[in-house]
Each structure stands twice: as C-alpha cells, then as structure tokens.
Amino acid sequence: MREKALAQQNPIKKIFLLVYYYTFGMLFLGLKYVFGYITKGITQLFKGYGKFLDLFSSKKDESMMQAEEEVKLKWNQKITHKIRLKHQQRVDKYLHWTDKNTGTFLVNNAIYFVILGFILYVIISEPSFLSVVVFTNILTQSSVRLILAFGVGGIIILQGTDLSLGRSVGFAAIISASLLQLKDYPFKFYPELGELPLIVPLLIAMVVSAFFSALNGFVVSVFKIHPFLATLGTSVALYGILSMYFASGAQGAQPIGSFDPRYTEFVVGRINIFGFEMPKLIIYATIVTIFIWIMWNKTTFGKNMYAVGGNPEAAKISGVSIVKTTIMVYVLAGLLYGMGGFLEAARIGSASNGTGVNYELDAIAAAVVGGISFSGGIGKISGAITGVLMFTIITYGMNFLGMDVFYQYIIKGTIIVVAVALDVRKYIIKR
C-alpha cells in the first residue's frame, strides 16, 4: 500500500512500475507463445510418427483383431496377433495425439530432458567421453547398481521402501570378503580357513541378507509398521551387527582385502565374445535382468506384487495373501542385495563396515527416476534400467569433467527431489 501511495505521489516511480510490469508481462507472453509453438511442433512430430507407423499396419481394424482372440490360434499365431494388436493401438494413440498430450509428455519427462542435456554438454566438452571404453565402463559400474535397483524396485511397487539396503550390501560384502581371502595371506580374517568353493560364500551372503529382508517384510506386513521406520530400524541394527562381525576377525577392525584370484576373476574378469572383451559383471546383470523380468511379468508372484501395490484391499478380496506376497518381495530383494554385496566386494577390491553406505539412496533414486512409482503398482524393468544408466552416466560424466564431489551430491539430490515431485504429480492427476 505504501509503494502504491508513493508511486501515485511520484510520477517517475509510477512510470518505472508500469515499465517493470509491462516488461515482465511481455516476457511471460513471449515465453508462453514460444512454448506453445514448440508444443504444436512436437504434436505434429508425434502425429507424423503415427502416420509412419500406419504404413506398416494391417488392413484389419482393432475390433477385428480383438475378435480373433476368441478363435483358437497356434502359439506363433498368438504372438503375431499380439504384436499386430499392440502396433495398431500405438498407431491410434499417435494419430490422435493432441497439444495437451504433448504438454503432459514434456512435464512428465522433464527430468529425462535435463539429464540428456547434461550428457550432451559432457560430450561437447569432452568428446572422448563418447567412446567404447567409456560406454563399457559405464555398463560395468551400472551392473551391481541395477541388481540392487531391481531389489528395492519391487518393494517400491508395494508402496514401500528399504533403507537397510546399504547395510545389507555391506554385510554381504564383508561376509564374502572374509571367506575368500588368499590361502597364504598372513592377515586373514579366518587364519585356519582353507579354500572354499565360490558358491558357498555367495549363498551365505544371500541367505543372511534374505533373512534380514524377510524380517523387514514380516514387520511391515504383520505389524503394519511403515516401511520407512521398519527398514530404518533394521539399518541401524544391521550396522551394529556387521561392525561386530567386522571387528571379530583375527586382525581386528581392518579393511578386508587380498582376495582369492578365483573370486576376483569370477567378478571383474572378462569373456571374449567375437573378439570383444565383455566384462563378466555385465553378463551377470543381464542374467539377473532376464530372471527379474520373468518374475515380475510371467509369474503369479509378479501379478500378486502389482496387485498388492496397486490396491491392497482389492487384492485381499481377490484372495491374494498380502502378508505372504510382501514377505516374498522382501526376500527376493534380500537375495539380490546379498548377490550385489558379493559382487561389489570383489569389484572395489576390499570390504569394511563402511561398504554400502548410501547405496540405498542411489538405488531408490534410480528406480524412481526410471518410473517405478511410490504410489504403488507401477514400474517396469526397462524403467529401472533407464534410471540406473542415467544416474551412472551422470556420476561418470561429472567425474569425467572433474566436478567437485560436493556439487555432485547437490545435483543428485536435486534430481531425486524433482523425480519424486513428478511421480507425485502423476499420481495426483491419475486420481
């Protein structure tokens, strides 16, 4: 009120305020016009894509294709039919694309555009970033993270989270490292222990991690404790347990290293595939990806997981055991944590009670960025892969540019907040 009064008393201030508001108003209108023009252009691109897909469409319409479902078809005919039906649905989607669809698409995928922009900036600044060696290193670093993201991703689909992931990975890493040191190493964790088959420490690590995860699932499903609090408590307790185990070795609380060459070769070795040295970690991650895809999409377990996450009450009425499903999802996550810890210890070359710190944050962030929703019942394998790769590329790119680690934390934290905000926005619109 005082500024308005002064403006009325002073003509110069009045003119200044008018110019000020007029400038910002014109700027806003200009940006709105540019955004509208870009939106219309993108809409036309989507429609053009729909017309392009339509060139390869069958002459049958969708109703005729759906009618074919009632006819008994051979297995190969069923596959062809499903492909044709999905193709036709995609064609119809893009042919009827509107500016509103474009606006929603741009907002929902804003985080991806920002990340892709950063990647482009890194490539322009350092052209050597775009190389086979760098790409292979990124895939190698993503391998263990992807396995962990699959574990926590299933829990997020249940509308939960797991803050004990990092400690589970750390415990599995310490167990694996303590059992797989060189036979003649003078500072062994277990001086009298001989060589063990690699499968033994792997199974022990996976079983231990699965036990604590099953405990999380039991507490969450039976006692109805929020996953955040349940897994937070488990994380704190696990740190105490793993630190006691870590300090119980013959040499006390010292980092565990000097691994058996069989262990190191099994994890960080390479396999020659048609002249290309493929890191074994990438192969393990690929195998786990196929296994989890089958579990999520082709089993009763996967269907129940999505049902409980999407609508627990409806799932319960349909005869799905919420307690059993929840515990099974947590157990599967624990098995993946154990495997991840086994691989991570050999990848970094040592293990201590600090191994796995903040791994849960990276895994949860990658899953959410990849479209696995905290609202429950939503998430795909491809989304988890996309999220993990993007986070790894960002981290690798920032290191490539020599960016200070503190700035890296700020950027990662911002990405997490924006990703969760966009996820909540989708959920609100859906409701």
For the chain, give every domain's residue range: 2-106, 122-430
Please say whether the beta carbons of 287 and 143 come within 8 A. no
pLDDT band at 6 (very low <50, low <70, confident <90, very high): very low
pLDDT at 308 over 70: yes
- Model confidence, pTM: 0.83
Location of structure tokens 């909540």: 424
Q: In this predicted model, what pLDDT tens digit does every residue of 94-149 receive, in sequence order?
A: 888 888 888 788 777 777 787 888 888 888 888 888 888 899 999 999 999 999 99
Nearest Cα neighbor of 373 from 155, 164, 145, 109 is 155
**Residue 421: what pLDDT?**
77
pLDDT at 411 over 60: yes
pLDDT at 244 over 50: yes
Q: How far is 151 from 300, CA to CA, in rounded Å?
A: 18
Q: How far is 209 from 201, CA to CA, in rounded Å?
A: 12
Q: Which of 93-102, 137-146, 169-178, 259-268 has the lowest mean pLDDT?
A: 93-102
Q: Which amino acid is at 250?
A: A
Please say whether the beta carbons of 156 and 374 come within 8 A. yes
Q: Which residues contact 367 (CB under 8 A, 6 or more apart)?
A: 149, 152, 153, 156, 379, 383, 384, 387
Angle between helices 99-108 and 405-430 (to 10 degrees): 140
Across the chain, what does the average pLDDT equal? 86
**Residue 420: what pLDDT?**
76
Q: Which two tokens stand for residue 386?
A: 């996309």
pLDDT band at 85 (very low <50, low <70, confident <90, very high): confident
Please say whether the beta carbons of 277 and 271 come within 8 A. yes
Counting residues of the chain whose pLDDT is more than 90, the rounded percentage is 49
pLDDT band at 335 (very low <50, low <70, confident <90, very high): very high
pLDDT at 2 over 60: no
**Residue 284: what pLDDT?**
97
**Residue 170: what pLDDT?**
96
Rounded mean pLDDT of 263-286?
A: 93
- What CATH number does domain 122-430 carry, 1.20.58, 1.10.10, 1.10.287, 1.10.3470? 1.10.3470
pLDDT at 370 over 60: yes
Q: Which two tokens stand for residue 297?
A: 């999409």
Q: Which residue has the higher pLDDT, 145 or 63?
A: 145
Rounded mean pLDDT of 202-208?
A: 97
**Residue 374: what pLDDT?**
87
Q: Which residue has the higher pLDDT, 59 or 394?
A: 394
Rounded mean pLDDT of 376-399?
A: 90
pLDDT at 263 over 60: yes
pLDDT at 419 over 60: yes
pLDDT at 23 over 60: yes
Q: What are phi and psi of 192, to 5 degrees?
A: -95, 0
Most confident residue range from 36-40, 298-302, 391-395, 406-410: 298-302
Rounded mean pLDDT of 325-337?
A: 98
How many helices (H) and strands (E) in the chain? 18, 2
pLDDT at 36 over 70: yes
Please say whether the beta carbons of 346 and 168 come within 8 A. no
Q: Which residue has the higher pLDDT, 61 or 144?
A: 144
Q: Which residues lie across from 181 on neighbouring strands?
A: 259
pLDDT band at 297 (very low <50, low <70, confident <90, very high): very high
pLDDT band at 24 (very low <50, low <70, confident <90, very high): low
Rounded mean pLDDT of 297-319?
A: 94
CA diameter of the chain: 93
pLDDT band at 63 (very low <50, low <70, confident <90, very high): low
For residue 279, what is the DSSP state?
Answer: E
Q: How far is 292 from 258, CA to CA, in rounded Å?
A: 33
